[in-house]
Amino acid sequence: MTAQLIDGVKTAERIRSNIKDEVAEWIAGGNPAPGLATVLVGENPASQVYVRSKQKACGEAGIESYGFNLPGTATQEEVEALVRQLNADPKVNGILVQLPLPAGLDEEKVLREIKIEKDVDGFHPLNIGRLAQKGREPLFIPCTPYGCMVLLEETGIKLSGAKAVVLGRSNIVGMPVALLLVRADATVTICHSRTKDLPAVVCEADVLVAAIGKAEMVRGDWVKPGAVVIDVGINRVEDASKTKGYRLVGDVAFDEVKEVAAFITPVPGGVGPMTIAMLLQNTLRAAKMSK
Ligand code: NDP
């Protein structure tokens, strides 16, 4: 069998185009443009790229972005003071603190400082806590896990009662994805670096989400025929044939797994583009909630 591709680029484009229309309608209705503040501390080049692409995406959707850069020497108090200032600023509907913060800063304390109504990254402990509790609704769902769920929805498969296996238990991907799958009534197994006999666990999965950051670790013979595979991993592997000297691969051996699975996300072009689309969605939601 050759799996059907789940096209994250197309899906993200559709979502972003809908958001653009909704933002235009919102502004035409006499409301101010939604605003996203980005907080970047230090000079991590990857973080700079991520923040720039988020700001560019905001611009394309008609969302105002306000960039705040603090030096890597910024103190805990300075970062928290900036977050408090943004909490109080009515132009700012969403606050995104780009992670990771430089060593020495307490990430959890900074995230806790963000007003829950502006927590468009969905990492405030209250939002995550609500995600974990039955009958409670988080105000925002973390963007990458949210994107995974939208891609699963694209396949039309029924999650209720499905056996789902999530590889990885990080705060930003694995754990929130697992919580979302439980909310969708899947039966969820969470795997991590101490899991024994990973292939045996994976081969039970109707739905597999891989978020471990290990290049092509999931092999074709691990996967149940007909499974839906969402590959969150983004890994660089050396490739002399590329001008950059490397190429990007996922946590799943795509060429092998596509012969077994029913649906699969490519890397790049799967989950990656969804993260920004969901951030824009959350920012628009924050603006509408603020009225
Ligand atoms: P982390 O490093 O924070 O977490 C990795 C998780 O994988 C941990 O729970 C770890 O277990 C588990 N793990 C590591 N090695 C193994 C192994 N050999 N077997 C089983 N489990 C293992 O990574 P993130 O969650 O931040 O990211 C995961 C991947 O997703 C990365 O490739 C990252 O680049 C990508 N990513 C993509 C995004 C996007 O598309 N927009 C956004 C965010 C991340 P333990 O807890 O025991 O240490």
Residue whose Cα lies nearest atom 8 of ligand 1: it is: 168
Dihedral sign, Cα of residue 14, residue 15, residue 18, residue 19: negative
Tell how far the Cα of 234 is from the centroid of ligand 1, in angstroms. Answer: 9
pTM: predicted TM-score of the whole model, two decimal places = 0.97
- Annotated catalytic residue within 4, 10, 20, 54: 54
Residues with Cβ within 8 Å of residue 153, at least 6 apart in sequence: none
Q: What is the pLDDT of residue 128?
A: 95
State yes or no: is 98 an active-site residue. yes
Q: What is the pLDDT of residue 1?
A: 64
Q: What is the pLDDT of residue 183?
A: 97
User: 143-273 architecture in CATH?
Assistant: 3-Layer(aba) Sandwich (3.40)
194 lines ligand 1 (CB under 6 A): yes
Cβ–Cβ under 8 Å, residues 164 and 181: yes
Q: What is the pLDDT of residue 39?
A: 98
- Annotated catalytic residue within 119, 121, 206, 231: 121
Pocket test for ligand 1, best of 11, 192, 218, 275 (most atoms within 8 A of CB): 192
Dihedral sign, Cα of residue 226, residue 232, residue 236, residue 242: positive
The ligand 1 atom at the shortest distance from the C-alpha of residue 270 is 40
Q: What is the pLDDT of residue 115?
A: 98
The CATH number given to 30-117 is 3.40.50.10860
Q: What is the pLDDT of residue 161?
A: 98
Both structure tokens of 289:
């909630």
5 lines ligand 1 (CB under 6 A): no
List the pLDDT tens digit at each of the 291 positions of the chain.
699 999 999 999 999 999 999 999 999 999 999 999 999 999 999 999 999 999 999 999 999 999 999 999 999 999 999 999 999 999 999 999 999 999 999 999 999 999 999 999 999 999 999 999 999 999 999 999 999 999 999 999 999 999 999 999 999 999 999 999 999 999 999 999 999 999 999 999 999 999 999 999 999 999 999 999 999 999 999 999 999 999 999 999 999 999 999 999 999 999 999 999 999 999 999 999 998
144 lines ligand 1 (CB under 6 A): yes
The ligand 1 atom at the shortest distance from the C-alpha of residue 232 is 30
CA distances (Å), 90 to each of 75, 86, 161, 284, in order? 25, 8, 43, 14
State yes or no: is 121 an active-site residue. yes
Q: What is the pLDDT of residue 270?
A: 98
**What residue spans define the domains of the chain?**
30-117, 143-273
Whether 30-117 shares its CATH topology with 143-273 is answered yes
